[in-house]
Structure 1
Amino acid sequence: MTDSLLEGFERPLLDLCNDEQLRRTEAGEGAAELWTRIDALGYTDALVSEAHGGAGLTLSDLFPLALAAARAGLPLPFAETAVARAILAEAGIAAGGGAIAIATAATGADGEIVCGDVPGAALADYILLGCQDAWRLMPTEGAASEPGVFRPRASASLRWTGTAQAVARVPATGADAVAEAVCNALHAAGMAGAMQRIQALCVTYATDRRQFGRAIGQFQAVQQELSVLAEQVAAAVLAARLGCAASAGHLPDPLLAATAKLRCAAAAGRVAAIAHAVHGAIGITEEHVLGLFTRRLHEWRVTAGTEARCASRLGHALLAEPATSLFDFVRTRLVADRVPAATAA
């Protein structure tokens, strides 16, 4: 990803995602207009192949864009839409211009399709579900919806009466597992970007806020907390980059994605706690933007592949190779170039 390409995305993004717009969108207002302007930038087709009218970039190339979108606070599922459009385009399906979230789904005994706490689902036009043997593109309109736990007007749990409501179907072996890996990788990138913004907010506040005649950032205790925060953010960004390190294609490696999500989730809890400690009471007010980012951290931690699921996946992969030591497992299996990206079929 060249600096000019990233700058061409980040500069207008910062203008579109000012604090007032973020609050309005989180409240469920103006999401369609904001998405139209984001989509018009042209980056949502970045992973679509050139043969289908896209840029043909890889998931690794998308990572800086996903990081920038999360850092700016974009509440809409930008990275998910980019991956979803690539999956659909590969199957010869035109996705249109709507925002698309990605989720795993469960099928009930009565044929209902259910997905819980999907980030950005209340603002999206469609949900691309990984459900057993296929991807299914489900419209959010007409679905039974319950507000999300952390972002009640932006995220949601959705339920459809059956697969007949799908507007498109793409056969894919193990689509549910692939969908979880995609969510792990993209949620890790989202957390890393949000933590970068939180770090910037903390540094600015610690520099501006004065106590006993000097900035609180000059007190050793605050400096220590900011140092720990910076360490966690740097580790999260590195892990998230690893999770999106597909050498080719638009799908992540499941083990790398699980590693990224696990490390970013661990960092997210500490970063959120330190950020609110530095800001004090002002950090939990509706007027301050900090809460918009820390709520997303907590939401991403518990959606799709949770910390426990990611740790279990890594543990089972290690135990499946009893002759391999932990060091060799990390050295040979958890590296960016060990295998090509997973395929959808």
Structure 2
Amino acid sequence: MRELFESTIERLLADGSGSETVLASEGGVWSATLWDAIEDSGFTLAAAPESLGGADAGWADLYVIARAAGRYAVPLPLSEALLANWLLGSCGLEPQSGSLSFAANAQLTLSAGRVSGVLRDVPWGRHVQTVIAIADNDGVGPSLVVLARSQAQGIEQSLNVAGEPRDTLFFNNAVVVDSAPLPNGLSSEVLHLGGALIRSAQIAGALTRLLEMTSEYAGQRNQFGKPIGAFQAIQQQLAVFAEQTAAANIAAQAAFVQSDRALNWFAIAVAKVSAAEAATQCANIAHAVHGAIGFTQEYALQLYTRRLWAWRGEFGTATRWSQQIGAQVCAVGGDGFWPLLTQDSVSGASA
């Protein structure tokens, strides 16, 4: 399944998510044609159970989709829809067709089928039809709720440094589309953890594309009669770039594979730290090698570096995840350290 996903999504995004499309989205344009093509291909429902109309794909298979979303700087909530429909299926709810996102930062109360509260930093919130979030179910416990964006009483629009919408939605006694209690094994932080997972793969994809662009430019740009890539200092920087990119890709892929049955807190935390650190270092190298052209609007480099700068801090910074990894290691002690590194899942662990 993974090979089929990879070949199909690569062809689709290579044709539909060019620099012009990405720049248009930063100007407020919703890429309806590209979204329709993604939906028609069935990718937004890939993680949903077959019994509910999905492909029942595991996270190991979904990695290539999330990575491609980063590689092509897809200006749409493709990764967000993967996570949202996976969680809906895990809760026994029908997957949502149409544009879909989620809110990891939610302060909601659910009572008698109605929700009040606020959703913050909703990716593409102003554009999507449906948003999922975790609500406090009238003191009973956390529940997953499905909300129509049209039910929002107000929207406070905001953008991240990449020009991607990260909006705040306000609800007051809004009727929910659907809801269900979170099953055992899923904490109220599941969307925060899942968000870190998908961002790690997107960063890995963006780094891969950025490395290709930087290596190609270093081979074409001549200085003192030869390509700048022939100079030892540039070669050393490109080697560091390649090492960091490989580390981010391996860590992200490992997190997806180890989360196939249940989200693996430790693997996801490691992947997010690795991806965030690589994003910082590699963006710096890319701009140093390219010089002034890397900052121009016409050249695609800045589309990727701005997304790396934005994504590295979403759903937890490297510092925050590193602190939590340290706390987890200290908690299990010396005898528990090796099992922590090699286990399949840290059940119930949350950020």
Q: What TM-score comes out, normalization by structure 2 length?
A: 0.86
Which residue of the other structure, out of 148, 156, 177, is the alignment partner of 2:166? 156
Equivalent position to 1:321, from 324, 332, 335: 332
Corresponding residue to 2:133 among 126, 129, 152: 129
Classify the secondary structure of the residue corresponding to 2:167: strand
Task: Give the whole-Å Cα distance in 2 for the aligned partners of 1:140 and 1:296.
Answer: 25
Q: Where does 1:241-256 land on structure 2 (aligned, <5 Å)?
A: 241-246=253-258, 248-249=260-261, 251-256=262-267
Q: Is 1:115 the counterpart of 2:120 in the alignment?
A: yes
Q: Give the distance between the partners of 1:185 and 1:205, measured in 2 at CA.
A: 31
Q: How far apart in 1 are the matches of 2:102 and 2:133?
A: 6
Give the corresponding residue for 1:197. Answer: 209
Aligned to 1:169: 179
Residues 162-217 of structure 1 show CA distances to partners (whole Å, capped at 9, x for unaligned) of 46354332321664311111011111011111111111111121122222222111
Query: 1:120, 1:216 → 2: CA distance?
Result: 40
Residue equivalent to 1:297:
308
Match of 2:273 in 1: 262
Q: Structure 1, residues 309-336: CA drift from partner, whole Å, max 9, x if none? A: 2122212211212343xxx62x42234x
**Equivalent position SS for 2:315:** coil
State the partner residue of 1:286. Answer: 297
Q: Which moved more, 1:162-171 or 1:32-41?
A: 162-171
Q: Over aligned residue pairs, what C-alpha RMSD do you find?
A: 2.6
**How far 1:230 sits from its partner (Å)?**
0.6
Q: Deviations over 1:83-137 (max 9, x none)?
A: 211222344433432232233224289x532313x44444433332234512222
**1:52-67 equivalent positions in 2, closer than 5 A:** 52-67=52-67
- Name stretches of at least 5 consecutive residues in structure 1 with no aligned partner: none
- Contact 2:30–2:127, Cα closer than 8 Å, also in 1: no
Pick aligned residue for 1:240 from 248, 252, 258: 252
Q: Which residue of the partner structure matches residue 338 of structure 1?
A: 344
Q: Distance in 1 between matches of 2:347 and 2:124?
A: 26
CA distance in 2, matches of 1:259, 1:24: 34
> Percent of counterpart pairs with the same letter?
31
Q: 1:340, 1:247 → 2: CA distance? A: 10
Which amino acid in structure 2 is aligned with residue 278 of structure 1? V
What TM-score does the superposition give when structure 1 sets the normalisation length?
0.88
For 1:341 and 1:105, the matched residues in 2 are separated by 22
Match of 1:222? 234
- State the number of aligned residues: 336
Take 1:39 and 1:342, find their aligned partners in 2: how far apart are those partners?
32
Equivalent in the alignment of 2:147? 138
